[in-house]
Structures are given as C-alpha cells and as structure tokens.
Chains A and B, each alone.
Chain A
Amino acid sequence: MRALEASLSDVLGSTGVVGAALVDAATGLTYGAGGDHRLLGPGAELAELAALIGDRLCEAGADGELESVVVTSTRHHEVVQVLPRQGDPLLLATVLDRTRVNLALALRQTADGARGFVS
C-alpha cells in the first residue's frame, strides 16, 4: 500500500503531528499507521467510538453527519476526522502535540492532508 503510506507520511510531516492512523469507519480495519499512534488505541475502538457518537447524535435529533471527534489531554490533542466518500467513510486519526500546535489550524491542516486519501 505504497500510495497510502505516502499520504500518511504527508500527514505525519505536518507541524505538531506525532502520530496518525487511517481506519475504516465501518469495520475498524486499520489501513495504515505511523509515528507514535499508540495513543490512539486500536482502529476497531476508534471506529466503535465514532459510530457510537454518530449514531447517538442522530438518535438525539442532530442534523447532519459526524465530522470530527477531538479529545484533549494535558499533553496531546487526539483528533479523529471522518473522511466521507462514496461507500463507507474513512477515519483519519491524529495525535497532536499541544505545545506545538494551534488546534484550529491543525484541524484545517489535517483536513487538507486528508484529501490525499479520498480524492
């Protein structure tokens, strides 16, 4: 999966990104991971978390689809972005160093990087 690894390397090259993983949102299959991605946990748990949040939001009457989940700890931001496509979506999960990134900018940056996966 050379092209996928190249796209993942681009994401890892962004400022403050210390780990990244690309996961299937439906099955939890991890297509690729790099850097210090252990903080993200297994891909299956990420998919389960995203499905749980998305489904509960829908049940609660929220319009639209889940876009991202941001978990903040004292040292890191863990960002899970949903990459919609024709078919089951993908999840791009990144670990960001809080001391080096502005969260809003990092979200925009990784969203740009995500185009390498679903363009």
Chain B
Amino acid sequence: MSPDTPDTHGTAHAHDHDQAQAGSRPARNVPAHLLALRDEDFTGAVVVSSAPGGTIHLERGLITAIETPGAPTAETLLLKSGRIGQPDWAAAETAASSTGAGDLGAALVAQGSIGAAELETVCASAVFDGAFALVLSPPGEWETVAAAPPAGLALRPGIEPKRLFEETARRTALLTRAWGPPGELARTRIRPAAAPAGAAGPSAARIPARHREILAAATGRRTARDISFALGRGVFAVLLDLVRMDARQLLHRETADAVPMAPSVAPRTAPGAPLPTDNGQPLPRRVPGARTPGGAAGGVVTGGAGTGGATAAPGGPPPARRADGTGPAATTAPTDTTVTTEKSTP
C-alpha cells in the first residue's frame, strides 16, 4: 500500500475493468490505483485478492473503510473492547434498518452508545490499521467494483489516499527500525516468557496494564493479529506493544513452523481414490476393564480389520493417540494401523 513498497512481485496487475476506468494506462499497484480513483471522485470499492486481502471502500475517492481478515474492523474494535455491548449494538442495527437509511453509526450515536467524535476516531483507526494489515503480505490482484454495498461503519468524509500511504509507510518503517520485518513479527506466535523464580510478585505489578492484557491473551498459538482480534485493539498497536515487551524480555516468540498446528480435518484418502471399506466387518470395540495399568495392553475387539501392520512390543511406547489429533497417526496413518497397534499386544 505504501508508495515506498511498490509492487515488485509481478503478481499484481490491474483488472481489465480497472484499466478501462482508470484511464489509458493501467495502475502500477493498489496505491497508484487509489490515487487515480481519487482524481475521478470514484465511489465504490476496490477488492484486493491477496492473502489476506480485503475490501477498500471509497466515497468520492476518499477511503471510508477497509474490511480485511487481517485486522479488526471498527465493529470488532467496539464490541471486543467492550466499548459497546452486544444488546446496544443489536438495538442500533434494528434502528438503522428500520429508518431505511441504514446508517449504523448515526444510530449508535443517536441512542447514546458512543459519542460522534469518539466513533470517528474508532472508524479512522480501523481504516489505518486495515491498510497496515494489507501491506504485511505481498500484494495480489485487485478489482474495482462500482456497485459495492457500503461498509457497515464508515468514516465520512473519508481519508485522503495520500495520507493513508504516508501513515502506513511510517508504521512499517517504525517497526522495521525497532524490530525487523513487520510481516515476520505479525506471523510469529507469542507466549509469555518463563518468569524467573520469584519474579511473580513485585515485578509483575510493574508491567503496564495493556502489556499484562497481552500476556494474558498470548497463548502460544496466537499471532499478533489473533491477539488484536481477541482484545479489540489494532494490529499495529499490538505489534508496537510486542516490540516493547520483547525488549523487556517478557515474551517468548515461536515461529509458526515450530508450533503444532490444529489437527487436520482433511480427508485421509486422496481425491478420486476409492474410499476404504470395512469388508462388512464390525467396527472395533473396546472391552471395559481389558486395558492393563501398563497402558500397552490391548483392549480392543475387532473383526480383524488390521492385519498387516506394526506390532508393538510389550512395554513399548504407548499406542498413538487418535482422539485429540496430536499423534502422528491422527493425520497420516490409516485407522487400521492404529487398531493393530492396540490389539497386537498380548
């Protein structure tokens, strides 16, 4: 998004429709395209299809909202931070739809849930945070949609594209200077550093409240984006705090590859391959009390589905776990291998 980070990946190109709208020369990247749309006083949306991608809403060429899975929207900021309760939000939605205008922001202000000025600050911060989230990943293609529905909560009048680019460049440069590539930090999973012995007392109290909130939300499986969604804060704000906390050695960083992912729910057979059959045999069944305290005894009665596999020696490693998906058999080994492992021990 930033003019300092031109599209050099060779993947972004203007959609044919864009080229027709933006003049004779296609825009080089999304920022150039937004500047061209500003000159045209364009109203509509630009849909960016990178990962995570998002939708940039424009009114008269000014950016009124950015919706992306990479950053919380104004709605998420208000609800997750607890600034507005769910009942008030639902009431405002009802009021907005009943009036026909559909202006959710005006309804929230009218019912006293939030002041107009504060709502504008929340909407503006969501726009800048959305733009920052978009530049954390390589740019992709984009498409201009003139008849796009407006964003749920929009900033009116919107923000000049040039100002958005400057602020995004500042944020990127600040994090790069303080830590390193922001995209890398954003993909890092965070958990609190192991506290040294005796450090839980006075020193814990000397951590600022917003840092303590992040530590409480950092489970080791969450990235900065996940934490920002959980707390209802901006991604950039969380990243900035993470850099400060890292300098104080409050964090343990883990790259995404080092953390076991959630169990796969993909089918175990290749697409098009014949599904495994049970040959008419009944499903394996456990016999209560048959498992010995040693943990390696077989308590499974089966119709003989597993006949060709591994045999665990008595006293050997416990059988692979299936139910929680943490064992290798959960995603790679066929089911009958697991059954064989359990029943083959005398």
A interface vs B, CB < 8 Å? 1-4, 6-7, 22, 24, 26-27, 29, 31, 44, 51, 54-55, 58-61, 65, 85-88, 90, 116-119
Contacts and interface: CB of A to CB of B under 8 A. Distances in A.
Nearest to A90: B121
B244 A27 contact: no
Interface stretch (B110-118, B181-189, B272-280): B110-118
Interface string B231-247: 01110110011001000
A119 B121 CA distance: 12
A59 B245 CA distance: 12
Interface of B: 77, 81-83, 115-122, 124-125, 128-129, 155-157, 167, 170-171, 174, 202, 205-210, 232-234, 236-237, 240-241, 244
Shortest 8 CB-CB contacts between residues of A and residues of B: A3-B116, A26-B237, A87-B81, A86-B83, A3-B117, A4-B117, A119-B115, A1-B120
A18 B121 CA distance: 23
B115 A117 contact: yes
Which residue, B118, B206, B208, has most C-beta atoms of chain A within 10 A? Answer: B118
Contact of A27 (B81, B82, B208, B234): B234
Contacts of B210: 26, 88
A117 B117 contact: yes
Contacts of B83: 85-87
Given A1-B120, A88-B234, 20 more contacts: A2-B157, A3-B117, A24-B125, A26-B233, A26-B234, A26-B237, A27-B125, A27-B128, A29-B128, A31-B124, A54-B208, A58-B206, A58-B207, A58-B208, A61-B202, A87-B77, A117-B118, A118-B115, A119-B115, A119-B118
Contacts of A29: 124-125, 128, 167
A53 B180 CA distance: 24
Contacts of A6: 117
Contacts of B121: 4, 22, 24, 31, 90, 117
Contacts of B174: 44
15 contacts: A1-B124, A3-B116, A4-B117, A4-B121, A26-B237, A44-B174, A51-B244, A54-B208, A61-B202, A86-B82, A87-B77, A88-B125, A88-B210, A117-B115, A117-B121
A6 B116 CA distance: 10
